[in-house]
Amino acid sequence: MDHGPMRIRLCRNADLPAVQTLLADSPQASPWALADGSGYHSLIAEADGEIIGFAMARVVCVGEAELLNVAILPPWRRRGVAERLIRQALLFSPGDWFLEVREGNTAAIQLYEKIGFFMIGKRPAYYADTGEHAIVMTLRAC
């Protein structure tokens, strides 16, 4: 599938219906209600006017932030979209970043490790929808 160039930008209210659809098509993503994301730093990846990816982060306090959600449309997976979104999100706040990822989501874990995140713990039965454990990862962003 040939697509035009991708760009990353801040999420706008008008993007929310497309983001909700994207999240519904991404079972590995966190099942956030969009209202839960108000006030967070949300990024959109788009190509040819279509939203193809989404990332949400928040600053917890000075020097600490969390990557809360990443979702990519299936035809765009494994094409660098998630990596670009995450690297852009890391610019929101220098310091320590944290995330939780489903233990069985090996593709995401490998991507996070490629970016520089590493495992610091596990949360048993963290995901209510499946009872799956969460891997807790961290990264020091400059």
Which residues are known to be catalytic?
100, 112
**Distance in angstroms (rounded) separating the CA atoms of residues 18 and 21:** 5
**Distance in angstroms (rounded) separating the CA atoms of residues 19 and 125:** 27
Widest pairwise Cα distance in the chain: 42
Q: Is 55 helix (H, G, I), strand (E, B) or coil?
A: strand
To 5 degrees, how large is the angle CA 18–CA 12–CA 109?
A: 65
Phi, psi of 43, rounded to the nearest 5 degrees:
-115, 150
DSSP label at 4? -
Q: How many residues does the chain have?
A: 142
**Distance in angstroms (rounded) separating the CA atoms of residues 74 and 91:** 26
